[in-house]
Structure 1
Amino acid sequence: MTELARPFRFALLAMLAAASTFAAGCSAAVDPSEEQPEEDISTDNITSVVHSSVKNQSIGNCWIYAHIGWVESLNKRATNTELNLSESYATYWDWFTKITSWPDTALNDKSEFSAGGTWSLFRWEVARYGAMLESDFIPEEANDARSSRQSTAIRAITLSLKEGALKTVEARRDRKLVRAELDKAFGLSPEVVKKLDDVFGQTGAGSATGAGLTKRKAAGVLGPTDILIAWPNVRAQGVDARGKLSDAVAPSGPSIWNEVKYPEDPTARRTYQIRVQKALHDHAPVLTWWNVDFNALSGSRFTKEQLDTRGKGRTGGHMTLGFDYQAKLADGTLLKAGEDVSDRALLQRALAPDTKIEFLRVKNSWGGTGLPGVDQTPPSGYYDLDMAYLDTKVADGYGLVATVFPPGY
């Protein structure tokens, strides 16, 4: 390890030592090797959680789509405009981090390269590398809901790790070589490569913040201090807290979002669900980590009933964004998903311990689920997760794994 790389890796390892052990490995709705047609996806905002457009992951990097969607949502809340940030850019730097920081385990015991990740890893990576618009990173995919370039890239980088330029641990420690291999794998233009060099250096040892605003702007790199965000202020009903992305992903501070594991005890679970409800009532895009079993899926809904009927199927960790929920109050009142409730007293009643959550509705990254212009529930690209499914055993844990909450919730 070079002296330049040593502090970089140790800082990352120190951060991850205290991180969650949850890792989304992440599930795609279809085989990533199958080419999918492009879709023009639009979604009506039937609730007040402000989300960006639905995307369609082509590889197992759902966590990046969820996190980038989270950033876009918070920025849209602050600016009333929608960024189209590049998931490919975030994926590029994630792979660079994994290969150079863990060169001896870049491939798993099946000789596969993992595209999965965690909330803690995203916080670290976005704090260091920031973000780019898709139009600035891979202009050819600026208007695409699905990235074919990512599919090509993961095949190319896996081959390089198996039998190519990065097949040895020593080669994987060569940060300049790793960047060059990633540049080729993602098919980056010479102009984009130079922009990355100008900001981060050929070894990727720099940071977006450290490069300074002038260099960042010239390269089209958005540092974490450049992205304005807004989120609900838990202390002032109806008033947003405002800041920068750097505030939300900092190692500590009053504005950081926090990942909390879903408990096993029924009483503790209801308390946890109330926290989720409160965040959704205040229109926060909570990151939702859960386990997928595709045998539980019928249409756009995951149910325990379907899982019990069909038995265990293909499983995997997955990450999405919270959008809405449906619940029945003790007196039989039904709070239906898709219908805004402005009565604060009714929303407060919904937080009672004896309220039964029927399902959570999430924004997914599996593309559209219906025909444009056709009224449907849930809206295209969104999925309903029955609470009974989230409470049951799925894969190596329970259906629901963890949630990332806004400050104070």
Structure 2
Amino acid sequence: MPQTPVERQAIGNCWLYAEAGWVESMHLAATGESFTASESYWTYWHWFDQITQDDATEIQTGGWERTAHRIISERGLVRQADFVPRDNGPEMSPQQKGALDAVNAELVSGRLSTASARADRKLVRRVLDKAWGLPTATRSWLDAAFGADASRTIDDGAGIEGTPILSPSAFQVRYTESTTSSRPGVFKDTNLSQAIRDWHSEQYPTGATGRRNFMIRVQRALHDRQPVVLSWAVDFNALEQGTSERRGAFNMTTLRAKGPGHQGGHMVVLEDYQAMTQNFGLLPAGTTLDPSQAADRAKLDAALLPSTSVQFLRVKNSWGAVRADRSSVPGFPGYHDLYMDYLNGPIAWCPNADDPSPATCRGRTVPLWTAMMPPGY
């Protein structure tokens, strides 16, 4: 999979890191350039919309790909170094957590503590600019592009020429599209705006047959090296931290031994998978098969048979490459394996409980929620 380096989220905006991974992978495939998008830039606009449109009195950091798509369509994208220069280099943004605390303080008892203040778009911009510590030059090109009140967007006349802002309609990407289940993906060289229109998210179905058919489509996209995005439920007590063969993996064996732990929704970009086939036995993750070679092509075809069992999905994560509390897959810093026994669950769902127990949990959930895939898959 064409992937850019792993980064580490500082707040609950994994969905924007997954969006960046998706964008960067498609751009890398198209140009060979390892572009690093600024998640802080998109986060800035996510907060602006919450305050001015939703009258938020506390920032919610979570979101989904449709929100990320909208932000990109309206505000474009910038390089990491061009928005918050301090973000460029460290694995984790040194600015996001401080900015979040500062904005929430303003919403509680500061300049944005009244509804009329939150409706003042120029004031909201000034508060955000200060909270993020934006240099004067950055504030100037934001004003030039969108106006001091951010009333202009890319679709309705934002003046981005001469600024670091890149329009999604001019941002090169490459991905594949397929019209039949047996036809390999055909490269499509286009722009990010078209990708946003083309890619689609689908719910993980119920029932063994529906789930296997869903997974075959995901596998086909991975065979064509496409950055499929997964939305799923995390229970950190399912992450194996020890020295067993499942180190760095979310699995039910580890979860059953510990019971429910800290939980929440999460988004990641797929990298690989491991499967057991009838004809070739185990097809291990971390091994590249060349479809131009007949023997490898036969293995790839066998991997897509209904009789094949996917054991786990390997994902590029936004938790950093080296963390004592987030053991990665050995040899793959920042990557984790999601075993199908965990993704199929179900698991007790206790996302708001500090001390999960049957009394604080609200039912059960299947951890795998959705997959965002290219057209035709």
TM above 0.5? yes
Paired residues for 1:68-87 under 5 Å? 68-87=20-39
1:58 is aligned to 10
1:176 aligns with 2:118: no
Q: How many positions carry a matched residue from both structures?
A: 345
Distance in 1 between residues matched to 2:155 and 2:81, nearest whole Å: 21
What is the CA RMSD across the aligned residues, in angstroms? Answer: 1.8
Q: The residue matched to 2:266 in structure 1 has which SS?
A: strand
2:176 is aligned to 232
- Aligned counterpart for 2:210 among listed residues 268, 273, 277: 268
Gaps of 5+ in 1: 1-48, 251-255
1:29 is aligned to none
Cα deviation, 1:284-327, whole Å, max 9, x if unaligned, reads 00011111001001131111110111100100000000110000
Q: The residue matched to 1:225 in structure 2 has which SS?
A: helix
Give yes or no for contact 2:175–2:374 (8 Å, CA) kept in 1: yes
Could you tell me which amino acid in structure 2 is paired with residue 265 of structure 1?
G
Paired residues for 1:244-323 under 5 Å? 244-250=191-197, 256-299=198-241, 300-323=248-271
Q: The residue matched to 1:325 in structure 2 has which SS?
A: strand
Q: The residue matched to 1:160 in structure 2 has which SS?
A: helix
Paired residues for 1:112-127 under 5 Å? 112-127=58-73
Distance in 1 between residues matched to 2:27 and 2:321, nearest whole Å: 23
Distance in 2 between residues matched to 1:321 and 1:131, nearest whole Å: 19
1:367 aligns with 2:323: no
Could you tell me which amino acid in structure 1 is paired with residue 194 of structure 2?
D
1:89 is aligned to 41
Give yes or no for contact 2:279–2:302 (8 Å, CA) kept in 1: no
Give yes or no for contact 1:296–1:306 (8 Å, CA) kept in 2: yes
Paired residues for 1:8-407 under 5 Å? 49-103=1-55, 106-107=56-57, 112-211=58-157, 215-235=159-179, 237=184, 239-250=186-197, 256-299=198-241, 300-331=248-279, 333-342=281-290, 343-369=296-322, 377-394=330-347, 395=349, 397-407=365-375
Which consecutive aligned stretches of 4+ in structure 1 deviate over 6 angstroms post-superposition? none
Cα deviation, 1:351-375, whole Å, max 9, x if unaligned, reads 111211100000000111379xxx9
Shift, 1:376, TM fit: 6.6
Give yes or no for contact 1:370–1:380 (8 Å, CA) kept in 2: no
Give yes or no for contact 1:262–1:272 (8 Å, CA) kept in 2: yes
Q: The residue matched to 1:158 in structure 2 has which SS?
A: helix
Cα deviation, 1:331-368, whole Å, max 9, x if unaligned, reads 46111100011222221111111211100000000111
Distance in 2 between residues matched to 1:170 and 1:393, nearest whole Å: 45
- Structure 1's 155 and 376: CA in aligned 2 closer, same or farther, altered over 3 A? closer
Instruction: Quote the sequence identity (%).
Output: 39
Could you tell me which amino acid in structure 1 is paired with residue 149 of structure 2?
T
Distance in 1 between residues matched to 2:135 and 2:331, nearest whole Å: 39
Shift, 1:172, TM fit: 1.5
Cα deviation, 1:94-126, whole Å, max 9, x if unaligned, reads 1111221211xx24xxxx521000111111111
Taking structure 2 as the reference length, the TM-score comes to: 0.88
Distance in 2 between residues matched to 1:76 and 1:243, nearest whole Å: 13
Give yes or no for contact 1:279–1:405 (8 Å, CA) kept in 2: yes
1:16 is aligned to none
Distance in 1 between residues matched to 2:124 and 2:33, nearest whole Å: 35
Taking structure 1 as the reference length, the TM-score comes to: 0.81
Could you tell me which amino acid in structure 1 is paired with residue 299 of structure 2?
L
Could you tell me which amino acid in structure 2 is paired with residue 75 of structure 1?
H
